[in-house]
Each structure stands twice: as C-alpha cells, then as structure tokens.
Amino acid sequence: MNEFTDKPASRSLSLPYSLHILLLCCVLFSPGLRLRAQQQPRFHALAIYENGGHHVDYSKAAKVWLDKLATDSNFTIDYIQDIKVVDSALLRKYQLFIQLDYVPYAWPAAAQQAFKQYIEQGRGGWIGFHHASLLGDFDGYKMWPWYHDYMGGIIFKNYIATFARATVHVENKRHPVMKNVPDSFVIEKDEWYTYDKSPRPNVKVLASVDEKSYRPASPITMGDHPVVWSNPDVKARNVYIFMGHAPELFNNTAYTTMFRNAIFWAAKSGGR
C-alpha cells in the first residue's frame, strides 16, 4: 500500500509498454537486426578471373581491394572463375561485370550471347583489364568477331616479356573515370601489349602510354598506344584498362583512383 494515499502502488511500467521497450532494445543492439535494417546495396557486381597462370597474383590482390571497397561503399561483389557458368539468367542479377585478366576466347555460345546482349542493350556496365584484350586465334580457338569489333578492331601482336616502367598520359580529363587522376602517372611494371593497329578510330581514348618513357627501353612499340579506352557505340557504360599484371598496382594511387571511378561510373548501366 502507498503510505500517503492508502492506495495500491502502481507499477512504474505496464507490461505491454515494457515489452515494447525490450523489443526496441533488441532492434538497437542486435547486430543481426541492425544489418537487416541497413540500406540496401547500391548495386551488385560480378567479377571473373583466371584460376591460374601469370596473372593470378594480380587477381588475388584485386579481390582483396574490391572486397574492402564493396564493404566500405555498400555494394556487393561475387566472383567466378569459369566462363561456362555465364548466361543471361546470371548476368541479369548484376549491374556491373568486371573482367579481371580473363581472356576473350573459349567462351561458349551461351556466354557470348549473354554478354553481347548485356553490353549492346545496356543491361549493366563492364570493366575489362589486361588479358581482356588478348584478341586473335589462341589455344585452338578462333577470335570472337563481335568482341574484336567491341574492343576497337584490334588484334594482339606482341608484348614486353621482360616488363618495363612507363609513363601514362591522361587524354580525357573530363571523363568520370579520370576524375582526380593525375595528368600523368608512372606504372612501375607491365608488359605493354601491342596490337596490329591503334583502336583510336573506333573508341574513345582516355589515356595512352608514352613508349619513349619505357625503362628499360624496348623496341616493342606501336606508335600511337592507347591503354585506357571506352566504346561509345554500345549502350552499356564500359572501359578497358590495359594495366593489370602486377599486384603492386594496388599500391599505386592513380591506378586505384581510376579503378574506383570506373566501378561507380560503369555500374550506372545504360546511357553515357
């Protein structure tokens, strides 16, 4: 009894209100519920990379970097190593397809058709690196004609097997991929593929390498030598970045800035 009123002392909280507070605390302090309450991912990305060979260390470093970026920037990324799993149903789940050092030959018909539609119709964006321009007849496989045109009509010719340091010059500072990228930057080690011709007449060149800056100097040159470009004749936002051999590239701020820019630009599929 309440000694001042001779009435039963009321409870400070009614049972339903107490339960309400308890549930609210669960929402605020339960990690699982907090995760579900977070904002939905900005987009979903799919990356394909080779499961062996000379470029696997680059791909492993790329995966670490991409996973951190995805966590920090609220998007998801999945990885595959076999082009045979690619079809329209798979690509429909993703707003960005990243071709990490994966060759453009030995693709089954279903993967070729799915990728072609994805790019031509702007169903998602695309970023290709290094091996993605290995165009020609390789390992008993004929060159894919559509992809050959998509990449600017080039055919792989040669490369600097002993590697070279070189300076890259940005040609289109206004393009979103080049935002905050220095006008010129150095790549310490790469193979600097050459092709039968420059892709320039058929693509939008964003950056080129200065062959005179090669250290050590090399006779393996092609003159006009684009290394970053985009195809403006398809609906998908797309960019090819040649540099992609050494894992140390992820210590290069100019390179990671360009890679990051490419991701967020290309993920906005369609238009330009």
pLDDT tens-digit profile of 150-175? 999 999 999 999 999 999 999 999 99
**200-230 tens-digit pLDDT:** 999 999 999 999 999 999 999 999 999 999 9
From the number of C-beta atoms within 10 Å of its C-beta (0-12, 13-18, 19+), residue 257 rates as: middle
**Which pLDDT score, from 0 to 100, does residue 10 have?**
35
CATH architecture classification, 43-266: 3-Layer(aba) Sandwich (3.40)
The pTM of the full predicted model, rounded to 2 decimals, is: 0.85
**Which pLDDT score, from 0 to 100, does residue 29 have?**
52
The arithmetic mean of pLDDT across residues 109-122, rounded, is 98
Confidence grade of residue 22 (pLDDT, cut at 50, 70, 90): very low
Structure tokens at 221: 């040159």
| Spatial distance between the Cα atoms of 76 and 70, rounded to a whole number of angstroms | 6
**254-272 tens-digit pLDDT:** 999 999 999 999 999 543 4
Q: Which of 46-55, 110-119, 232-241 shows the lowest per-residue confidence on average (mean pLDDT)?
A: 46-55
pLDDT over 60 at 147, yes or no: yes
- Residue 182's identity, in one-letter code, is P
Write the CB contacts of 204 (distance below 8 Å, at least 6 apart in sequence). 172, 175, 229, 230, 231, 232
Confidence grade of residue 23 (pLDDT, cut at 50, 70, 90): very low
Distances (CA, A) of 155 to 111, 138, 145: 21, 11, 11
| Spatial distance between the Cα atoms of 137 and 151, rounded to a whole number of angstroms | 15
Helix (H) or strand (E) holding 235: none
Sign of the dihedral defined by the CA atoms of residues 37, 39, 40, 44, in that order:
negative
pLDDT over 50 at 13, yes or no: no
CATH 3.40.50.880-classified regions of the chain: 43-266
**Which pLDDT score, from 0 to 100, does residue 269 have?**
59
| Spatial distance between the Cα atoms of 260 and 250, rounded to a whole number of angstroms | 11
The length of the chain, given as a count of residues: 272
- For residue 65, give the nearest of 255, 272, 224 by alpha carbon: 255
Residue spans of beta strands (DSSP E) within the chain:
44-49, 76-80, 96-100, 125-129, 156-158, 164-170, 184-190, 194-195, 204-215, 226-230, 238-241
